[in-house]
């Protein structure tokens, strides 16, 4: 329920995704308990074990995939449909955690456009099923729990060590989750001793406090998974260990809780596609009544799935017909492969109108990978021996500006260099003691004070190493970072001979244009409606950046004015959009806005001071 409520944007549950960690602990306990008991009685069979797992997981997943596939074909634009089809194939192979790790971050702004993102945890679980029985059978009873303790400890330490380098890796990949399964498994090594009712109750309530506290206080910006997971994982393990036997099972709240537990697998499968399609079709920002509707719909559909899908297959005897279950899993993979091949073709057949807004959206290339290849082809720095050198620093928007300048200035004897970092383009001296506070509010969970501190410390040295004539700072500025900009620019100007040009934040849509603009009837209305659906807070930040620049003083150009002159945005460029996502330009957008940038009087004065 913590995961569901977190995904339904219920406030106060910033760590609701930790429900998955609770599940991993429970799974580690149950699977280890079953296998050890069967090994002791010499009844364990690999084929029977895997057949039971398939019977438990595959049928409901198959139904979920079927309905999600149809909905995706009808609702998603072409590129997102292709992404869905790839993720579906990865899900049937129980490698979706690897797939989503390779293409995105769980907490990124595009996550709500991935209907099967939640299957990453099922893949981790299946990888646990694949490895754990072999591990237990090989070790058997020769210090088994000591080996589990060591494996769990190494996993925890690895998660802590790797986190600073790649949060997505530790979040998605099985090796960094082993410690959670191990904590659950180790419960089997310590028989419960407390039998006093009030002692048990006190322990249970203390553990519940740790569970609720972790879910309420932690968030995606914290160092997870790692040591911060221990309170919630240990609390879960202790609740299992106490084996509290004093609950009135006839109480209504217990019956409801147990029922939610029974349908929880189907509820987990169903809830995220519902969220995705609801946000695309109805409203992107969920309100309380939207959340209430989604919770109700999830539980009703989960109850139907449990009764008519899960229970139907649960009555099968896996020992009698394991081949049918393995065949079901193979058919799932065949279906996903066929869908990956057929979906784009079916989509094209359904989208015959090449002049529609949807056709414009489909003609607009995705940014991921596409821009990386173009950037590599540019081979920054360009024109190393040119008499005038420009260094562009900042986040991914620095890439857009560097490419835009390289094309717009191609006929000039000017070199372009690029220094791209996701950490704020600020010096360490300007931040001082505010470094930790700055990254507490950052939306990118991969960024942390530990990771960014050396980046800030190197900023001036890297600029000095390039010896540029002009430093262009391009960042999608956050309001929290702007107060440190003035001192950063002052340091650059005092320690280098370069002029500094600060660019304001880019014009930003309220969501992905592939979704945000798809309801427009007339292509000619795209520019006007894009202006209406902008993020208005960017204008305030733009003014703050301008004020911080003037305080040095240094040159400033507003990208909002370049993209949207006279309160009308140039989003439609021929048969495609100028924006690849909510705030990044396409190649055509870079070329247009790059030409406007280099024609700006402020820019001309910086590169041609004598004129």
Q: Which of 391, 386, 393, 402 is nearest to 422 (CA)?
A: 393
Q: How far apart are CA 581 and CA 282, in angstroms?
A: 20
Helix (H) or strand (E) holding 451: helix 449-466
Write down the pLDDT at residue 323. Answer: 75
Write down the pLDDT at residue 212. Answer: 95
Write down the pLDDT at residue 378. Answer: 75
Helix (H) or strand (E) holding 497: none
- Name the token pair of 299: 């539980």
Write down the pLDDT at residue 349. Answer: 82
Residue spans of alpha helices (H) in 354-448: 357-363, 370-378, 396-408, 428-431, 435-440
Q: How far apart are CA 476 and CA 334, in angstroms?
A: 43
Kindly calculate the radius of gyration of the chain based on its CA atoms and give it in whole angstroms. 27
- Residues 61 and 91: beta-carbon distance below 8 Å: yes
196 CB-contact burial (10 Å; exposed 0-12 / middle 13-18 / buried 19+): exposed
Write down the pLDDT at residue 106. Answer: 46
Write down the pLDDT at residue 609. Answer: 66
Convert 310-323 to b/e letters by CB count within 10 Å (16 or more is b). beebeebebeeebe
Domains within the chain, CATH numbers bracketed: 2-350 (no CATH), 370-607 (3.40.50.1110)
Residue found under tokens 């449990």: 306
End-to-end CA distance of the chain: 66
- Residues 491 and 429: beta-carbon distance below 8 Å: yes
Q: How far apart are CA 187 and CA 113, in angstroms?
A: 38
pLDDT in tens, 50-93: 988 988 899 999 999 999 999 999 888 888 899 899 999 999 99
CA dihedral 189, 193, 198, 199 (to 10 degrees): -70
Residue spans of alpha helices (H) in 109-262: 120-139, 144-163, 167-172, 178-186, 197-217, 230-242, 252-262
List all residues 6 or more positions away from 6 whose beta carbon is below 8 Å from its beta carbon: 13, 14, 15, 16, 17, 19
Phi, psi at residue 495, to the nearest 5°? -105, -5
Q: How far apart are CA 498 and CA 391, in angstroms?
A: 10
Residue 218, CA distances (Å) to 16, 23, 210, 233, 271 in order: 9, 17, 11, 14, 22
Q: How far apart are CA 607 and CA 598, in angstroms?
A: 9
Helix (H) or strand (E) holding 572: strand 572-573
Helix (H) or strand (E) holding 471: strand 470-474
* Torsion over CA: 89, 93, 96, 102 (sign): negative
- Name the token pair of 378: 């540019």
Residue 551, CA distances (Å) to 37, 283, 491 in order: 72, 41, 13
- Residues 607 and 408: beta-carbon distance below 8 Å: no
Write down the pLDDT at residue 320. Answer: 52
- Name the token pair of 103: 């293409």
Tell me how many degrees the CA angle 580-82-353 measures, rounded to the nearest 5. 75
List all residues 6 or more positions away from 475 whose beta carbon is below 8 Å from its beta carbon: 394, 395, 397, 398, 424, 425, 481, 503, 505
pLDDT in tens, 11-25: 889 899 999 999 999
Long-range pairs, 449-457, Cβ under 8 A, ≥24: 450/164, 451/164, 451/165, 451/423, 452/423, 452/424, 453/428, 455/421, 455/423, 456/423, 456/424, 456/426, 456/427, 456/428, 456/431, 457/428
Three-class DSSP category at 534: strand
Long-range pairs, 56-60, Cβ under 8 A, ≥24: 56/265, 56/310, 56/314, 57/122, 57/126, 57/265, 58/325, 58/328, 58/329, 58/332, 59/309, 59/310, 59/312, 59/313, 59/328, 60/265, 60/266, 60/269, 60/305, 60/306, 60/309, 60/310
Residues of the chain with pLDDT under 70: 104-110, 193-195, 317-321, 352-355, 369, 445-446, 609-611
Query: What single-letter DSSP state applies at residue 198?
Result: H
Q: How far apart are CA 541 and CA 572, in angstroms?
A: 25
CB atoms within 10 A of CB 220: 17
pLDDT in tens, 164-192: 777 888 999 999 999 999 999 999 988 77
Residue 518, CA distances (Å) to 76, 362, 378, 535, 569 in order: 10, 10, 33, 18, 17
Q: Which of 33, 37, 25 is nearest to 152 (CA)?
A: 25
Q: How far apart are CA 569 and CA 575, in angstroms?
A: 16
List all residues 6 or more positions away from 162 whose beta carbon is below 8 Å from its beta carbon: 169, 170, 176
Q: Which of 350, 293, 323, 369 is nearest to 581 (CA)?
A: 369
């Amino acid at each position: 329920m913590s995961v569901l409520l977190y995904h339904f944007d219920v406030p106060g549950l910033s760590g609701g995704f930790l429900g998955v960690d609770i599940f991993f602990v429970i799974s580690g306990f149950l699977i280890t308990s079953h296998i050890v008991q069967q090994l002791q009685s010499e009844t364990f069979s690999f084929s029977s074990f895997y057949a039971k797992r398939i019977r438990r997981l595959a049928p409901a997943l198959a139904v979920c995939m079927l309905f999600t596939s149809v909905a995706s074909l009808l609702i998603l634009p072409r590129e997102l449909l292709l992404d869905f089809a790839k993720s579906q194939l990865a899900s049937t192979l129980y490698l979706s955690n690897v797939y989503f790790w390779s293409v995105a971050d769980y907490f990124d702004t595009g996550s709500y456009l991935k209907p099967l993102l939640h299957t990453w945890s099922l893949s981790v679980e299946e990888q646990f099923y694949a490895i754990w029985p072999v591990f237990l059978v090989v070790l058997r009873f020769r210090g088994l729990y000591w080996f589990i303790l060591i494996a769990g400890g190494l996993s925890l330490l690895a998660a802590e060590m790797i986190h600073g380098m790649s949060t997505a890796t530790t979040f998605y990949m099985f090796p960094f989750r082993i410690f959670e399964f191990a904590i659950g498994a180790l419960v089997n090594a310590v028989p419960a001793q407390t039998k006093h009712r009030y002692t048990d109750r006190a322990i249970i309530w203390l553990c519940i406090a740790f569970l609720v506290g972790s879910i309420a206080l932690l968030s995606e910006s914290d160092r997870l998974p790692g040591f911060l997971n221990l309170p919630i994982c240990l609390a879960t393990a202790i609740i299992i260990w106490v084996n509290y036997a004093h609950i009135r099972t006839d109480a209504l709240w217990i019956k409801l809780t147990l029922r939610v537990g029974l349908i929880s697998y189907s509820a987990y499968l169903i809830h995220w596609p519902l969220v995705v399609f609801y946000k695309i079709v109805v409203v992107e920002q969920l309100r309380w009544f939207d959340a209430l509707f989604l919770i109700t719909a999830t539980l009703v559909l989960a109850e139907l799935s449990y009764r008519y899908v899960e229970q139907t297959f649960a009555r099968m005897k896996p020992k009698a017909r394991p081949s049918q279950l393995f065949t079901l899993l193979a058919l799932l993979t065949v279906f996903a492969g066929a869908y990956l091949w057929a979906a784009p073709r079916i989509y094209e057949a359904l989208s015959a109108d090449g002049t529609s807004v949807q056709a414009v959206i489909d003609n607009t290339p995705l940014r991921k990978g596409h821009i990386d290849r173009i950037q590599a082809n540019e081979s920054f720095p360009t024109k190393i021996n040119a008499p005038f050198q420009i260094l562009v620093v900042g986040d991914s928007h620095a890439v857009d500006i560097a490419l835009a300048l390289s094309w717009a200035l191609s006929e000039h004897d000017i070199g372009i260099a690029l220094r791209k970092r996701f950490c704020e383009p600020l010096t360490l001296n300007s931040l001082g003691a505010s470094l930790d506070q700055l990254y507490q509010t950052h939306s990118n969970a991969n960024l942390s004070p530990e990771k960014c501190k050396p980046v800030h410390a190197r900023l001036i040295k890297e600029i000095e190493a390039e010896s540029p004539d002009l430093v262009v700072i391009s960042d999608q500025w956050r309001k929290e970072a702007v107060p440190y900009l003035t001192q950063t620019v002052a340091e650059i100007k005092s320690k280098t001979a370069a002029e500094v040009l600060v660019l304001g934040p880019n014009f930003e849509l309220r969501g992905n244009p592939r979704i945000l603009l798809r309801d427009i009837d007339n292509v000619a209305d795209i520019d006007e409606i894009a202006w209406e659906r902008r993020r208005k807070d960017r204008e305030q930040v733009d003014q703050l950046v301008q004020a911080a620049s003037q305080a040095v003083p240094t040159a400033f150009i507003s990208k909002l004015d370049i993209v949207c002159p006279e309160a009308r945005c140039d989003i439609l460029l021929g048969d495609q959009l100028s924006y690849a996502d909510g705030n990044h330009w396409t190649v055509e957008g870079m070329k247009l806005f790059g030409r406007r940038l280099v024609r700006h009087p402020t820019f001309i004065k910086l590169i041609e001071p004598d004129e």
